[in-house]
Amino acid sequence: MSTHPGVRRSAVIALSAGALLSVSALSAPAQAATAAPKGAPAATAAAAAPTVSAKGAFLLNNTSSATVYSKAADTRRQMASTTKIMTAAVVLSTKDVDLNRKVTVKQAYRDYVVKEGASTADLRTGDKVTVRQLLYGTMLPSGCDAAYALADTYGTGSTVAARTKSFIAKMNAKAKELKLTNTKFDSFDGISGGGNNYTTPRDLAKIAQYAMKNANFRAVVKATSYKATAPAANGGTRTYTWYNTNQLLGSYSGAIGIKTGTGTAAGPCLVFAATRGSKTLVGVILNGSDRYKDAAKILDHGFGASTAKTMKLRTLPSNAQRD
């Protein structure tokens, strides 16, 4: 297991450097899921599929669930911080969830990100933040402290450890409910001690598709930044400002989310969605050296566009988290 430096403003989530959980040693070639025109050779449609750097990729039509693009779609891989999509989805699917419920920040949440060298929402001990704010803190700066707070709040048990274990069990139960046979969680944020936190491009796209059904989730993941105030431990008011680590937002026309992830074993990951006209596409890049260009290329493929070549990425402020 690799060691991590102390928490820093530009920290990324690091995962254990275990072997990838792959059903095949070889990545399958990319395949376009469109049929060849009538009278054209059968290989025409497949030849139109773009080449991507990612070891695994998938794109689906959000309305019909039809596969638009696929590369090693059913090969299990670690998913890093894209795990937090399920974290947010479990919270938002809680019966009668109160997004204005106040949660007191524990020192344990800060200690955790320092110990792991993890990305952080920089939550301050004793501040009282709402569940809604914790969702933004989890999804925009990829705050592992915010994800920890959500797991601690929505798990059951008499100790923090018991509650977080209970919450992870809820994540796995949701995966089972969605009939995802190649997904397993051992973490609420993607930092996996045993390497038992994995999914496939196809499964992760289905998790994202499920999460995007929730209006509150959609509102969170499409925001490029978020500013919130909270009662501080000293009796004053603290202002939190978070920037979305997902640089596809504001860069690719129609992008509406969803989540970045980076880890030692997982590599750079991206779960994304975009809408143009009446069509919404949801996609996944796992372990891609050029994840944003990969996403743009397969979105272009799905939309019949050619904007990836000229896309310029939104620049993150120097003090923003990187994930």
Model pLDDT for residues 202-237, shown as the tens digit of each residue: 999 999 999 999 999 999 999 999 999 999 999 999
**Per-position DSSP letters for 136-174, written without gaps between them:** HHHHSS--HHHHHHHHHHHS-SSSHHHHHHHHHHHHHHH
- Is residue 23's pLDDT more than 90? no
In the residue annotation, 213 being an active-site residue is answered as no
Catalytic residue among 55, 84, 206, 259: 84
- Is residue 143's pLDDT more than 90? yes
The per-residue pLDDT for 80 is: 98
Structure confidence at residue 194 as a pLDDT band (50, 70, 90): confident
**Cβ atoms < 10 Å from Cβ of 311:** 20
The per-residue pLDDT for 33 is: 54
Average pLDDT over residues 97-122: 98
In the residue annotation, 176 being an active-site residue is answered as no
Residue type for 292, please?
A: Y
Structure confidence at residue 32 as a pLDDT band (50, 70, 90): low
Residue type for 241, please?
A: T
- Is residue 3's pLDDT more than 50? no
Q: What is the pTM of this model?
A: 0.87
- Is residue 44's pLDDT more than 70? no
**242 close to 229: Cβ distance less than 8 angstroms:** no
The per-residue pLDDT for 7 is: 36
Model pLDDT for residues 277-317, shown as the tens digit of each residue: 999 999 999 999 999 999 999 999 999 999 999 999 999 99
Q: Which positions ≥6 away from 294 have C-beta within 8 Å?
A: 52, 53, 54, 57, 270, 285, 288
CA dist., res. 33 & res. 275, Å (int): 19
Model pLDDT for residues 59-75, shown as the tens digit of each residue: 999 999 999 999 999 99
The per-residue pLDDT for 43 is: 40
Burial 211-222, CB ≥16 within 10 A → b, else e? bbeeeebbebbb
**86 close to 154: Cβ distance less than 8 angstroms:** no
The per-residue pLDDT for 26 is: 33
DSSP-derived letter for residue 1 is -
Biggest CA–CA distance in the chain, Å, is 73
Catalytic residue among 70, 81, 119, 251: 81
**Per-position DSSP letters for 201-225, written without gaps between them:** HHHHHHHHHHHTTSHHHHHHHT-SE
In the residue annotation, 142 being an active-site residue is answered as yes
The per-residue pLDDT for 113 is: 98
Model pLDDT for residues 264-279, shown as the tens digit of each residue: 999 999 999 999 999 9
**167 close to 151: Cβ distance less than 8 angstroms:** yes
Catalytic residue among 16, 70, 119, 142: 142
The per-residue pLDDT for 25 is: 32
The per-residue pLDDT for 213 is: 98
